[in-house]
Every structure is written in structure tokens, then in C-alpha cells.
Amino acid sequence: MPRKIAAGNWKMNGTRAALTQLEGIAATHADCDVLVCPPFTLIGPAVDTAQNRVMIGAQDCHTQTNGAHTGDVSAAMVKDLGASHVIVGHSERRSDHGETNEMVMAKAQAVLTAGMVPVICVGETLTEREAGETLAVVETQVAGSVPHDATVVIAYEPVWAIGTGLTPTIDQIAQVHDALRAQVIAMIPGGDIPLLYGGSVKATNATEIFAVGNVNGALVGGASLKADDFAPIIAALSAS
């Protein structure tokens, strides 16, 4: 069975005051892996606060280790701070920064080279879903942006479900995750990598989402910012 992971993506939220929320998350009992990805500015302090009770990750990195790339941060730099994971290819990076599958692949490979785990995001837009293209879009993104490495994590995040309060039906989540599992089994020896669902996961829908076959956890945005919101999601995954 793949590892179960409750991952939080804090996006561009949080100053040092938010470390009290991380302390609450770290104090939560978990029978699963828990990962929190704060902004770059909080990675070092978060590692200190977490004290190895939860894992800390970044939300992006550059493809290169160092060099003339003003404002960018490399995988080696966040690894040096104690990060274990890096989210790459989040839909907000793909749309806000024009990241292509090729760029996401290069970032994922940089994360692996630095000795960390890439959490690679894929997912269709509403227009693509309504055109019946969901599986084709997701399969193309996986083929183009996921290295053939048994340590990677994939997060299926329908773009239209992120931060909107909308979620696919349980059958729609199952359909994509089953297709993803078949694809990664063919791509990656063993194929036993965690497949996370992301998009408006909250305490009230976590249990039914985690009951779906081939869902091995969640990537959570808004509901990971407060310990009181994230803790029930961690509990639901632990009980699944």
C-alpha cells in the first residue's frame, strides 16, 4: 500500500505568527504522514517548530541549483533548510507563471536530485472537463511532468475545485484516480506511489474522499491554514 499523506499548501499565507497553527498541527495525533508547505520565508522557522513531528516542504523551486536567477529559490536551498518535499506544477504556478509540463518535469527532477520528494500536481480545467477531456488532459500532464521514479507523489487537483468549495463527485474522483493508478503502474516500476486528491477538501468531505480506492491522501489549501480545520482531515485519513 502507498503511504498515506495529509499535505497542507499554505500558498502565499502566513507570517511567523502562523507558527502557532503549525504547532497545533504538529501536536495532532496522526497515523499517516503529515506535510506542511508554508511560504519560502517560513520554511526554516517551520522546520524548527515541527521538530520532526510533521514534514515541511516548499511550494515551488527553480530547475537550477544556483546562478543568475533573481528572486528564485533552488531545491538545494530548501533542502538545506530541512525541507523534505517540494510541490511542483501546482495549477496556480501553471497559470500564473506559464509553467509547462516540460518545466514541471525539470523542477521535479531537480527536487529528486536534491534528495527530496516532488509532489507533482495535475488536473483539468472546467472547460476541459465539460468537453469530456479530463482523462486525456491528466494523462498528458502525468506523461509530460512526472519522472519515472518510485519516490514521487502525484496530486490530482481539478483546477475548478481549488479554493472554490466545489468538488467532483466521488465517482469522478474514483475514475481519475483509477486511471492514474493504471498509468503510474505502467510508467513506474511498482507503481506504488501515493496519489493525493486536492480541491476543497475539508472536515465535512474528507472521510468519503479517503474511502475512494486509489486515493492515498489529500493536498489541502484553505483548510490547512488552521490547526482546528486540518486536524479533522488528518484524523479522517488516519482512520481510513
Binding site for ligand PEP (CB under 6 A): 9, 11, 157, 162-163, 198-201, 219-223
Which C-beta is closer to ligand PEP: that of 191 or that of 232? 232
Which C-beta is closer to ligand PEP: that of 168 or that of 222? 222
H or E element that contains 237: helix 227-239
Residue with nearest beta carbon to ligand PEP? 221
Residue with cell 486511471: 179
- Note the Cα 91 to chain centre separation in Å: 11
Identify whether 157 is a catalytic site residue. yes
Identify whether 69 is a catalytic site residue. no
C-alpha Rg value of the chain to the nearest Å:
16
Determine which one of 62, 85, 157, 177 is catalytic: 157
Closest approach of ligand PEP to the CB of residue 189, in Å: 28
| Nearest Cα residue to 146 out of 97, 185, 109 | 109
Closest approach of ligand PEP to the CB of residue 16, in Å: 21
Beta strands in the chain (DSSP E): 5-9, 33-37, 55-58, 85-88, 117-122, 153-156, 195-198, 217-220
Closest approach of ligand PEP to the CB of residue 30, in Å: 18
Closest approach of ligand PEP to the CB of residue 23, in Å: 21
Grid coordinates representing 122 are: 495535475
Grid coordinates representing 31 are: 497515523
| Nearest Cα residue to 10 out of 232, 238, 219 | 219
Determine which one of 62, 90, 92, 177 is catalytic: 90
- Residues with a catalytic annotation lie at 90, 157
